[in-house]
Amino acid sequence: MKTPLESEYDLGCVPRRTLANGSQIPVVGMGTFGSDKYNPDTVAAAVVEAAMIGYRHFDCASVYGNEVQVGSSLKQVMQSGVKREELWITSKVWNDMHGDGNVIASCKQSLKDLGLDYLDLYLVHWPFPNFHPKGCSVTYHNPDAKPYIHEAYMKTWSQMEVLLNEGLVRNIGTSNMTLAKMKLLLNDCTIKPVVNEMEIHPHFQQAELYDFMVANKIQPIGFSPIGSPSRPERDRTPEDTCDTTDPVILKIAERLNVHPAVVCLMWAVQRGEIVIPFAVKREQLISNLKAGMSTQLTADEMNAIAGIDKKCRLIKGQVFLWRKDQTWEDLWDENGIIKQ
């Protein structure tokens, strides 16, 4: 499936990183969470467009509500000549499917929806087993919500290990973990996660957690790598900062004549991450994939971006709180203690 565009930019050769178990994951993937802004058909059309440009990695999840449509696009992509083994497809078990047997059932449903017989990567989307309705406000409170319970998480993880052993998935990983929770998992698991998907952008670098992952051969995948500029109003607070208007990012963008979003991605990839930016616009898809092939930031620029961390978490997870008197900080084990 070579296009003139692909040969012009050689975008069919996006680099891959080798994970601890030898799997090779493309450094740039397309996020597929359309949120309130892009409906499933628009995201699915972008998947086909992205594959024509050269994308081979797609970050999916059952909760994104579009795996059926994305699956149709993947079928189209494969019918046009892209081999299954060239693709890297991730999906995730949603929080209301952590119970006994549910992880396996959820994975099988994602496989069916996506039209695949295996996933390249399956993640536990959040460490909390708490349901909330789609599109609810951040003040929504589920009276049945529970804190993180390690024994329960390990039951979920052991189902992930079964999926791997049975060949339904090729790699397993975590998402939205903290240092404290990851240490517990590493102590008690039989099979270690090979990746952790976590929020990372210049204003939220998570350096300590990132370094811990790297030291333990767990590849960080950065979500919302541009700082999720199109997230819904309900996910914004007055304290949130904006990566793409930061003077350090703007100065580099001007030097390279690229959009500031692209600088965020270049920084992430040069730092060693896998990035999964969301885009449905052709020009954005192209520049985001090109960012994954760039090593254009100088050491001084990398250092300058390292200096603009504002510890500004955007995806705060308020809906997972299990008591009404809590704040979102209680979810993130900031002093190393898992709150109960």
- Dist. CA 134–CA 194, nearest whole Å: 29
Q: For the sheet containing 172-175, what is the strand order?
A: 30-31, 57-59, 88-93, 121-124, 172-175, 195-199, 219-223, 274-275
# chain residues binding ligand NAP, by CB under 6 A = 29
Q: Min. distance of Cβ 32 from ligand NAP in angstroms?
A: 5
Q: Considering the rule CB under 6 A, would residue 229 count as an interface residue with ligand NAP?
A: yes
For residue 29 the two structure tokens come to 């993937």
Which one of 9, 38, 55, 64 is the catalytic residue? Answer: 64
Q: Considering the rule CB under 6 A, would residue 287 count as an interface residue with ligand NAP?
A: yes
Query: In the annotation, is 140 catalytic?
Result: no
- Dist. CA 46–CA 110, nearest whole Å: 19
> Taking a C-beta distance cutoff of 8 angstroms, is the pair 210, 177 a contact?
no
For residue 257 the two structure tokens come to 């004549």
Q: Considering the rule CB under 6 A, would residue 212 count as an interface residue with ligand NAP?
A: no
Query: CB under 6 A: which stretch of 44-52, 65-73, 113-121, 224-232 binds ligand NAP?
Result: 224-232
Q: Considering the rule CB under 6 A, would residue 263 count as an interface residue with ligand NAP?
A: no
Q: Phi/psi zone of residue 90: left (φ > 0), alpha (ψ -120 to 50 degrees), beta?
A: beta
CA torsion through residues 199, 334, 210, 269, sign: positive
Q: Min. distance of Cβ 46 from ligand NAP in angstroms?
A: 10
Binders of ligand NAP in range 265-284 (CB under 6 A): 276-279, 281, 284
Binders of ligand NAP in range 42-71 (CB under 6 A): 59
Closer CB to ligand NAP, residue 33 or residue 55?
33
For residue 22 the two structure tokens come to 């030898």
Binding site for ligand NAP (CB under 6 A): 31-33, 59, 125, 175-176, 197, 223-231, 259, 261-262, 276-279, 281, 284, 287-288, 315
